[in-house]
A and B are shown apart, each in its own frame.
Chain A
Amino acid sequence: MKHLAEYRDGDTARRLAAGIASIVTRRWAIMEVCGGQTHSIIRNALDQLLPPEVELIHGPGCPVCVTPLEMIDRALAIAALPGTIFCSFGDMLRVPGSHGDLLGVKAAGGDVRVVYSPLDALDLARRHPDREVVFFAIGFETTAPANAMAVRLAERGGVSNFSALVSHVLVPPAIAAVMESPGNRVEAFLAAGHVCSVMGTLQYPPLCARYRVPIVVTGFEPLDLLEGIRRTVVQLEAGKHELENAYPRVVTEEGNAAAKAVVAEVFEPCDRTWRGIGTIPSSGWKLAERYARFDAERRFAVGGIVTAESTLCRAGDVLRGAIKPNECPAFGRECTPRTPLGATMVSGEGACAAYYHAGRFAAGQGERP
């Protein structure tokens, strides 16, 4: 684990943090929506560099963590079907379903394969025409263009033994849900840089206006994060609530037009249940009707799924920012990355895994030294 002291820009980082300390006059709670940012913040102990007035609340932006339990159970059932090759990003394999995980299905003889790209799954389907190849298409807007392209190419290429189990989620509706949740403490958001590299920034000004919150598009490197936080605090102190782009080397206002066009062709909006949070209206994408025959949910009738969540796990409270991971009684005891009770302990983007790997075991180690 590298810490900021070893980092070339450590001095710049400390100057940025001092700059934030010099302008802050009261307590503020800022949510970083993206799990990749949570990982970077905890790994580099950026939260401990900030003045004590600035609290970072870790958001629900980990797609592995919020994929609904019912969908995990469906994946387990499909992966166990004879003749099926089930393809997934690696960090889904240990995510606990109601009864076991994908790794367990693989150990029991199921053909479960880890892929780097959805195109690898499509390639497997081309090479194994006698098998059903199912790809677990999860992710936020960043991953959607890749997953959409795989389905589109399957259609164009007549790869009829390929299908996708789609569980896509979207950032803007999650921001709205956080703001509307009872007891919400979040006063500003860092928006996820790579999500915005695809979607652009135009979805966010209406959220700023409606909820009177600043939203600052922010990157993933330590200086990017500190600059995003600094700009957020400047807005909060000035009573402003605007969309700002602090990651212009990657993000433009309009986003990636080619990617958005393919996503709009292949997917359509749907209500989505977020694990630990509940159903958020229009917060997901599913396959559009034109591509329905590539929908693994329709192709494989695996009925009778009865979900059962761990009674100890408080991942939902962590994902809503209500508690820090090390405030959960099971954290580091019953629940570790090797024996995860919830998905937030599995993924590198999950807040619980980030705290565990940074060695933050005692409650109160969450915010500052």
Chain B
Amino acid sequence: MCLAVPGRIESIREDQGTRMGKVNFGGVVRDVCLAYVPEALVGDYTIVHVGFALARIDEAAALETLQTFAEMGLLEEGLAEIRGAAPGDDPVLCPLPPAEPPRR
């Protein structure tokens, strides 16, 4: 369901018994839960969905996906979602582009 955005793991820590880390998404760094990628190390790439890393992927595949997302305009949407992490902002599970008027 919907996008998982690739990012690079910058650091790993234990937070109240949970494996957490900082993940860099094309320049935007966010806290991500790494509990589901116990094998992942700093420098590895992972795909992240709603703040959780779901799978480790190789660097070439991650960069390819990031480039494709950037060209499709999806990266800005994904990053807006990730940036808007503070409660009260308006990130969405799968962001919509701004509504355009009907062209009839």
Contact = CB atoms under 8 A, between A and B. Distances in A.
Interface string A101-133: 000000000000111111111011000000000
A177 interface: no
B88 A348 contact: no
Nearest to A126: B16
B12 interface: no
A36 B1 contact: yes
A337 B102 CA distance: 11
Interface in B37-71: 37-38, 47, 49-52, 54-55, 57-58, 61, 65, 67-69, 71
A204 interface: no
Contact of A361 (B1, B87, B91, B102): B102
Interface string B22-40: 0000000000010111100
A157 interface: yes
Contacts of A9: 68
Contacts of B69: 221
B35 A258 contact: yes
Does more than half of chain B's interface fall in helix, strand or loop, or is it mixed? loop
Interface stretch (A50-58, A76-84, A86-94, A182-190): A86-94
A2 B71 contact: yes
B92 A114 contact: yes
A361 B54 contact: no
Contacts of B35: 149, 258, 262
Interface of B: 1-4, 16-18, 33, 35-38, 47, 49-52, 54-55, 57-58, 61, 65, 67-69, 71-73, 81-82, 84-85, 87-97, 99-100, 102-104
Interface of A: 1-2, 6-9, 34-36, 39-40, 43-44, 61-64, 87, 89-92, 113-121, 123-124, 139-143, 145-146, 149, 153, 156-157, 192, 194-195, 197-198, 220-223, 249-251, 256, 258-259, 262, 332, 336-338, 347-349, 353, 356-357, 359, 361
22 contacts: A6-B71, A34-B2, A35-B94, A36-B1, A63-B1, A90-B91, A90-B92, A90-B95, A113-B88, A115-B87, A115-B91, A116-B81, A146-B52, A192-B1, A195-B1, A198-B54, A259-B36, A262-B35, A338-B99, A347-B93, A357-B99, A359-B103
